[in-house]
Structure 1
Amino acid sequence: MPEPVIIQEGSWAELGKLAGEIRRVVFIDEQRVPLAEEWDGRDDTCRHFVALRGEAALGTARLLPDGHIGRVAVLRDARGLGIGAALMEAAIDSARRLGHAQVELAAQTHALAFYENLGFVAFGEIFMDAGIPHRNMRLLLNGS
């Protein structure tokens, strides 16, 4: 039986090395996101989440101070195992603890159903970001 997946929450100083490597592989190598767009200078102000199985980091996400969730990424070999959902639940729980009334994200359109299954609702038009179609989504928290 494989080891359980643990979600760690922390600062960029604590988790940046692991989170950054996952983002490099998924966004820069796989999706060809330009370096300047991926490394936007906002990581130091965010809460970060890393999914670990033993010593292996498998996925990451971040929560910005304004309640936006972003940079959700799971390594190819770990996709379909519920890691993305576990990362999202951790980020949502953190936003709730911080007192946010809602969380928002810009979803790649291929992932809309994933976020809808977590309760997010799409709004606005499809737009391009880093050459990839996205749509904004929102989840109300705390019964708001």
Structure 2
Amino acid sequence: MSYSIGRVQWEKAAPLLKNVREKVFICEWRMPKKIVFDNKDRHAVHLLVCDDVTQEPIGTGRLLATGEISRIAVLKAYRKENVDHIIMHGLLAIAKELNLNEVFIYSPLENIDYFRKFNFISAGAVFMEAGMPRQKMQCSINAIKSAKYYLSH
């Protein structure tokens, strides 16, 4: 399978981004809509991954100017295809491009080992969000493992 990943603006791609996030976070994970969508979307850098054959959106993620990585969502049918890795590497490449010193994510506890593969380390206490225990994970830009992906604009 092949995929296209692109940096998109919320104003132009909101319906596509919302579609993926609603299917994953609201329908599948049963998260409240007010948590899934917030005012930060308008100011974030968003990535959208589409299946090259169907042209359908299958994954997304965002990066805030603060260095926060969030809203990484991949449709269930594509989770074994490493689409999440494509999104993470794309967001980390953008963080380097923006000359951020550090990036962080509020990870569900079951995903901590996943983010450690990208050189993230635990920071702070575990907390609850939307009924889910989370841990802040952070990574210095200098510690980021690079991968070769090409982002379209």
Identity %: 27
2:39 is equivalent to residue 33 of structure 1: no
Dislocated runs of 4+, deviation >2 Å: none
Task: Tell me how far 1:136 sits from its aligned partner.
Answer: 0.3
Task: Determine the C-alpha separation between the residues in 2 that align with 1:15 and 1:120.
Answer: 29
- Tell me if structure 1 keeps the 8 A contact 2:119–2:143: no
* C-alpha RMSD over aligned residues: 1.4
Task: Tell me how far 1:14 sits from its aligned partner.
Answer: 2.8
SS of 2:39's equivalent? coil
- Tell me if structure 2 keeps the 8 A contact 1:85–1:118: no
What residue ranges of structure 1 are gaps of 5+ in the alignment?
A: none
2:121 is equivalent to residue 121 of structure 1: yes
Task: Determine the C-alpha separation between the residues in 2 that align with 1:61 and 1:32.
Answer: 18
Partner of 1:46: 44
- Tell me if structure 2 keeps the 8 A contact 1:25–1:75: yes
TM-score normalised to structure 2 length: 0.87
Partner of 1:91: 91
TM-score normalised to structure 1 length: 0.93
Partner of 1:14: 12
Task: Determine the C-alpha separation between the residues in 2 that align with 1:40 and 1:121.
Answer: 26
With over 3 angstroms needed to count, the CA separation of the structure-2 counterparts of 1:87 and 1:143, relative to structure 1, is: closer
